């Protein structure tokens, strides 16, 4: 599956868009959905399994990886930085 197009994210190499999260952590699959980078958990799992998702510049293969404020998620040339909801 190809990653969805989203007008809310910029190509990799530019400053990532901010993705506000509640205090604490969020799972990678949930963050991808919240950022509108994927349609659902099945798509997220497929893209992660195929090595198409990076967290902080490293390929991540765990959909349940816990992310926190400051982490950067990349997919399909787009990136988002997790920031605390303020």
Digit-coded pLDDT (tens) for 15-39: 899 999 987 899 999 999 999 999 9
Q: Is 17 a member of any domain?
A: no
Give per-residue pLDDT as tens, 40-85.
Answer: 999 999 999 999 999 999 999 999 999 999 999 999 999 999 999 8
Q: Is 7 a member of any domain?
A: no
User: What CATH number does the domain containing 72 carry?
Assistant: 3.10.290.10
Provide the pLDDT confidence category of residue 5 given band limits of 50, 70 and 90. very low
Taking the model in full, what pTM does it have? 0.81
Q: Is 68 a member of any domain?
A: yes
Q: Is 42 a member of any domain?
A: yes
Q: Is 74 a member of any domain?
A: yes
Number of domains in the chain: 1
Q: Is 33 a member of any domain?
A: yes
Question: What is the full DSSP assignment across 34-78?
Answer: HTTSSSSHHHHHHHHHTT-EEETTEE---TT-EEETT-EEEETTE
Q: Is 6 a member of any domain?
A: no
57 backbone φψ class: left, alpha, beta (φ>0; ψ -120 to 50): left
Task: Supply the range of the domain harboring residue 39.
Answer: 27-84
Calculate the alpha carbon distances from 17 to 3, 13, 49, 62 in Å: 17, 12, 24, 22
């Amino acid at each position: 599956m190809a990653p969805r197009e989203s007008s809310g994210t910029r190509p990799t190499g530019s400053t990532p868009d901010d993705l506000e999260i509640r205090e604490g952590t969020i799972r990678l699959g949930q963050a991808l959905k919240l950022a509108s980078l994927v349609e659902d958990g099945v798509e997220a799992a497929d893209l992660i399994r195929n090595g198409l998702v990076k967290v902080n510049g490293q390929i991540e293969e765990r959909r349940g990886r816990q992310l926190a404020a400051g982490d950067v998620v990349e997919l399909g040339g787009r990136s988002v930085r997790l920031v605390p909801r303020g």
